[in-house]
Amino acid sequence: MSKLSPALRHQARVRAELAAAHAEPESEMEGSAYDLMMAQLIEHRRRLKAIQSIEQKIKVKREILPVYDEWVNGVLAAGNGAQDNVLTTVLVWYIDVGDFARALDIAAYALRHNLKLPDQYDRNLATMLLDEIPGAYLAGKIPAEPAPEILAKVGELTQDFDAPDQARAKLFKAFGYAQLGKVNGGDTDISQVALDRAEIAIVALRRALELFEGVGVKKDIERLERRLKDSKPADIGPESPPEGNAAPAGEAGSTDTEKQDSSPPG
């Protein structure tokens, strides 16, 4: 659909809106428009399954995702919350290709309507977001500038949903590290970190440690404690951490990011 004319793209979106608007909440999406998208999805999944290289899979996902643009736009605009396996599958693919803003837009709708991930995914949606998006930051796949806001959004979206403590701890770790400009396997000069960011980071990292002792942040907390102890109290003016368990705003996620969020995840 990326090569369709504006008129045909509009028609595709209208078909998606009509299908989504007529579906009953908590029912399964149905109808010819949805069946067509599901057939396309099955074909694409078959193509991806035949590829062994993760790098190549991501390249192919990037090529095929535009096919689903107008379906996603239509469902987000007019959907009533019917279970939609096209929507939830491409949500995961958007995370895989690094389009976190788009993924989080879809996630907000999916979580609001309690949509389920397709059967091939063995986690609920909130847990998947808490695992994958903070994991992407810790692996160096999210730029430093938008990372705090993306991670805060994940926390905000998932704070009211049940998920393993280890997954939520990963979000707080990633949010704390984002304040320091640090990723897994990397290092940063704590003495050069602004005091307000150091205070936000230590709140998030302490919460991560509370949730999961094996999260791997004890040394970072010790270094931050020394940094803050050596500073003058009058110079410290931290912003609030994200909502939820006194940590980053929006425990870790796609991600429109014009300014950084300094509050810890929810």
Q: pLDDT (tens digit, 9 = 90+) per residue, 152-179?
A: 999 999 999 999 999 999 999 999 999 9
Q: Which has more pLDDT, 186 or 217? A: 217
pLDDT of res. 262: 57
Phi, psi of 216 (to 5 degrees): 85, 45
pLDDT of res. 91: 98
Q: Select from 131, 122, 137, 203 the least CA-distant residue to 166.
A: 131
From the number of C-beta atoms within 10 Å of its C-beta (0-12, 13-18, 19+), residue 237 rates as: exposed
pLDDT of res. 233: 55
Asked whether the predicted pLDDT for residue 82 surpasses 50, the reply is yes
Q: Are 117 and 205 in contact (CB under 8 A)?
A: no
pLDDT of res. 186: 81
- Averaged confidence pLDDT in the chain: 88
**Residues sharing a CB contact under 8 Å with residue 49, sequence separation 6 or more, in sequence order:** none
Asked whether the whole model's pTM tops 0.75, one would answer yes
Give the Cα separation of 40 and 86 in Å (integer).
Answer: 9
Give the Cα separation of 210 and 50 in Å (integer).
Answer: 42
pLDDT of res. 5: 75
User: How many Cα atoms within 13 Å fall on the side-chain side of residue 189?
Assistant: 2
Give the Cα separation of 243 and 108 in Å (integer).
Answer: 16
pLDDT of res. 261: 55
> How far is Cα of residue 35 from the mean position of the Cα atoms in its chain?
28
pLDDT band at 130 (very low <50, low <70, confident <90, very high): very high
pLDDT of res. 96: 97
pLDDT of res. 242: 52
Least confident of 76-80, 146-150, 231-235: 231-235
Q: Select from 74, 100, 101 the least CA-distant residue to 87.
A: 74
- Alpha-carbon dihedral sign for residues 56, 59, 63, 69: positive
pLDDT band at 265 (very low <50, low <70, confident <90, very high): confident
**Residues sharing a CB contact under 8 Å with residue 125, sequence separation 6 or more, in sequence order:** 88, 107, 110, 111, 115, 116, 117, 161
pLDDT band at 232 (very low <50, low <70, confident <90, very high): low
pLDDT in tens, 145-154: 999 999 999 9
